[in-house]
A and B are shown apart, each in its own frame.
Chain A
Amino acid sequence: AQKVTQAQTEISVVEKEDVTLDCVYETRDTTYYLFWYKQPPSGELVFLIRRNSFDEQNEISGRYSWNFQKSTSSFNFTITASQVVDSAVYFCALSDPYSGGGADGLTFGKGTHLIIQP
């Protein structure tokens, strides 16, 4: 069975601080995709990144960066120089091997509520 653990229920930092959101996953599959989504108060899930299991290269996109380590089954997300607009709930998700990277069959963690204080 697949499982995603986001141990940090809530994180509160002051604006401009760096913050890392942890994600640990469990799967027996060798082919899978990992995702991060942002959920603002409006409710929709905003796609941030998808990474397939064969690509362990870290990625940076502006103030966002992701660290994928298969050895520890982790896919952590760092926001550099956080801003108030980053406040949201962030979800890490794991696909099954048949989804082809789409939105079906995703296993989500419980989410981390990130609060950026001005």
Chain B
Amino acid sequence: ETGVTQSPTHLIKTRGQQVTLRCSSQSGHNTVSWYQQALGQGPQFIFQYYREEENGRGNFPPRFSGLQFPNYSSELNVNALELDDSALYLCASSHEGSETEAFFGQGTRLTVV
């Protein structure tokens, strides 16, 4: 079991609504990355946060945004939800500049109806 905790574990939202997903990083890790995993697919990189700033972004629209807090925990916000946003959202924490591995949380299963 990793030290990365995500909440909530499951969530159902209506199309057009907004959602906030949370991630608590592994102790000592200062970097968090978020991924979207659609059913039957591999995870896709959304963005990474380091020192409270976005430090890299995948091919996702601006309605996907994030925050990283001084304690290195993080939020993923998605506005104007679409049906295709239904997926497992995974966060991973790691330590920038270190050769240590990244640890993933168990994910939040988001269903948009």
Query: Taking beta carbons and an 8 Å cutoff, which residues of A are in contact with B?
Result: 4, 37, 42-47, 50, 91, 93, 98-111
Residue of A nearest to B43 (CB): A108
Instruction: Tell me whether A108 and B42 are in contact (CB under 8 A).
Output: yes
Q: Tell me the complex Cα distance, A101–B98, Å.
A: 8
How many A-B pairs with Cβ below 8 Å?
73
**7 new A-B contacts at CB < 8 Å, known A104-B31, A110-B41:** A44-B104, A44-B106, A47-B103, A100-B97, A103-B104, A105-B45, A109-B42
A105-B48, A110-B40 known; A45 and B97 CB under 8 Å?
A: no
Query: Taking beta carbons and an 8 Å cutoff, which residues of B are in contact with A?
Result: 2, 4, 31, 33, 35, 40-45, 48, 55-56, 58, 88, 90, 92-97, 99, 101-107, 109
Partner of A105, one of B4, B40, B56, B97: B56
Instruction: Tell me whether B41 and A45 are in contact (CB under 8 A).
Output: no
Residues of A within 8 A of B48 (CB): 103-105
Residues of A within 8 A of B55 (CB): 104
Q: Tell me the complex Cα distance, A50–B107, Å.
A: 22
Q: Tell me the complex Cα distance, A100–B101, Å.
A: 11
Instruction: Tell me whether A102 and B31 are in contact (CB under 8 A).
Output: yes
Q: Tell me the complex Cα distance, A37–B42, Å.
A: 11
Residues of A within 8 A of B90 (CB): 43-45
Instruction: Tell me whether B94 and A102 are in contact (CB under 8 A).
Output: yes
Instruction: Tell me whether B102 and A44 are in contact (CB under 8 A).
Output: no
Q: Could you tell me the distance in whole angstroms from the C-beta of A100 to the nearest C-beta in chain B?
A: 7
Q: Could you tell me the distance in whole angstroms from the C-beta of B35 to the nearest C-beta in chain A?
A: 8
Residues of B within 8 A of A43 (CB): 88, 90, 106-107, 109
Instruction: Tell me whether B56 and A104 are in contact (CB under 8 A).
Output: yes
Instruction: Tell me whether B44 and A103 are in contact (CB under 8 A).
Output: no
Residues of B within 8 A of A104 (CB): 31, 33, 45, 48, 55-56, 94
Residues of B within 8 A of A42 (CB): 106
Residues of A within 8 A of B31 (CB): 102-104
Residues of A within 8 A of B106 (CB): 42-44
Q: Tell me the complex Cα distance, A14–B43, Å.
A: 28
